[in-house]
Amino acid sequence: MGDLMVARTSGVIMHKGRRHTIRRGQTIGRKGHPVVDGHPRLWEPLRVHYDLPGEGVEQATAAPGELRDLPPVPAGPQRPPTSGPGSGVEAWRKHAAEVTGTPAEQWAGKSRDEIMKALGD
């Protein structure tokens, strides 16, 4: 499936004397087709979100007796998200105290934006 391309932008192109409408994120073509190869800036590889197991797809779990490498554990405290759950000012105050090694009280009067600016985030 690595040869499937999806339009990265919308537009109208000419091919064999006919107009062809290309719609971003909807029009799909295969590498090697003149419409795709003739206008490479319009296309990007199609990203498959749900695929069937097979060649080129890694097995999700280890087989009996098989050892897997684990990804490295990030060092230090994790930065809170900038939106959504866990992104409130209290999470940022706690993060700032952990990162800087200063007391949490030092950050008590600061807003989330002030803390982010002070930390360079």
Q: Over the range 67-95, which residues count as b (16 or more CB within 10 Å of their CB) and which as e? A: eeeeeeeeeeeeebeeeeeeeebebbbeb
Q: pTM of the full predicted structure?
A: 0.42
Residues 68 and 62 sit within 8 Å (Cβ to Cβ): yes
pLDDT at 7: 93
Task: Return the number of other C-beta atoms located less than 10 Å from residue 51's C-beta.
Answer: 9
pLDDT averaged per 10 residues, the chain (length 121): 85 91 93 92 87 63 70 72 82 87 88 87 68
**Cβ partners under 8 Å of residue 48, min gap 6:** 1
DSSP structure class, residue 107:
G
Residues contacting residue 28 through CB under 8 Å, at least 6 positions apart: 4, 5, 6, 7, 46
